[in-house]
Amino acid sequence: MSLTDILMQQLVNGLVLGSFYALVALGYTMIFGVIKLLNFAHGDVYMVGGFVGFGVLSAVGGTLGADWGGIAVAMFLSMIAMGCLGVVIERVAYHPMLAAPRLSILITALAVSLVLQNSVLTLTDGQITAFRTDLGFGGLEIGHVFITYNQMVLVGTAALLMIALETFVSRTQYGRAMRAVSIDKDMCRLMGIDVAKVIAITFFIGSALAAAAGTMAGAYYGSIWYFMGFLIGLKAFTAAVIGGIGSIPGAMAGGLILGLLEAFGTQIPGIGSEWKDVFSFSILILVLVFKPTGLFGKSETERM
């Protein structure tokens, strides 16, 4: 393969990886934008969503099949289940802590992460679970670049979800309420906006997107396990920071940029796949040093 073919193949791989990062990063940035919380349990919601999707697919696979039709049903039901779980987590763990110091709610988020992670560890005995599907390996070959149908479906589905989210936030009443609450919660209460309901909707949507990513990742990679949410949670947080945490377009762009940088970074001499995590977090450090607000972020003035 020529250098151009290698770069084009890595472009495809980077878009697939970046789609996963972007979907999870959206949950981080939405929750931070509304209640200024770094929800470090979000990666574990992605992991639990993968297991729920696997469970649903195992139940309906005999009827609907284990191809993309059955996976779509599994993903949809997983999104609903994880959306509800996100609301429960917010009501039980975060809502009573909203007036507490930021450090207290951050520790609570870490505790929720450990609860989810160790619950799945106990249920699965720490074993990697095979996510069996009937997906084939067909695709299109353009020159020496091979693009599978699975990759096209994954990127297309992620793009549709991101477009739907952007449309919801920019065009609907609840989307406008979310943007207003992110600016000034007290003023929103005075204007009659149900702030608690808006926060719950934010957690529902963010958790649902993470579940979609978890189910698609399980189907694409063919396996799931209890620790799969840890690293992608950190990577998605990195993507949110690169794009500008609190910015929805920034989270989308940051996820795709990070995925592409990882894919292309493995082709740099001396940086193989074993160094890609070092490469990713080095980029995070550089972004924080030279542009702390991220690519799409804006500096905020602290109100007195």
Specify the pLDDT at position 271. Answer: 65
Q: What is the mean pLDDT of residues 103-121?
A: 94
- d(CA 232, CA 42) in angstroms, rounded, equals 10
SS3 275: helix
Residue 209 above 80 pLDDT?
Answer: yes
- d(CA 294, CA 286) in angstroms, rounded, equals 10
- Where residue 299 falls among pLDDT bands split at 50, 70, 90? low
CA dihedral for 239, 296, 188, 161, sign (positive or negative): negative
Q: What is the mean pLDDT of residues 65-93?
A: 94
Q: What is the mean pLDDT of residues 35-55?
A: 94
Q: What is the share, in percent, of the chain residues with pLDDT greater than 70?
A: 96
Specify the pLDDT at position 196. Answer: 93
The 10s digit of each residue's pLDDT in 221-244 is 999 999 999 999 999 999 999 999
The 10s digit of each residue's pLDDT in 178-201 is 999 998 999 999 999 999 999 999
Instruction: Calculate the CA dihedral of residues 140, 158, 249, 165 and round it to 10 degrees.
Output: 140
Specify the pLDDT at position 88. Answer: 97
Please report, in angstroms and rounded to a whole number, the separation of the first and last CA atoms in the chain. 60
Specify the pLDDT at position 1. Answer: 64
Is the CB of residue 235 less than 8 Å from the CB of residue 14?
Answer: no
Q: What is the share, in percent, of the chain residues with pLDDT greater than 90?
A: 65
SS3 38: coil
Specify the pLDDT at position 304. Answer: 44
| Structure token digits, residue 238 | 């990195």
Is the CB of residue 47 less than 8 Å from the CB of residue 36?
Answer: no
Residue 301 above 80 pLDDT?
Answer: no
Specify the pLDDT at position 61. Answer: 79
In CATH terms, the fold of domain 3-290 is ABC transporter involved in vitamin B12 uptake, BtuC (1.10.3470)
DSSP element (H, E) containing 187: helix 185-190
Residue 125 above 60 pLDDT?
Answer: yes
- d(CA 178, CA 171) in angstroms, rounded, equals 11
Is the CB of residue 110 less than 8 Å from the CB of residue 234?
Answer: no
The 10s digit of each residue's pLDDT in 132-166 is 898 888 888 888 888 999 999 999 999 999 999 99
Residue extents of the structural domains in the chain = 3-290
The 10s digit of each residue's pLDDT in 276-295 is 778 788 888 888 888 888 88
Q: What angle do CA 138, 144, 145 make, to 5 degrees?
A: 55
Average pLDDT for the chain: 90
- d(CA 33, CA 45) in angstroms, rounded, equals 19
Q: What is the mean pLDDT of residues 97-113?
A: 90
Q: What angle do CA 21, 26, 31 make, to 5 degrees?
A: 135
Q: What is the mean pLDDT of residues 9-36?
A: 93
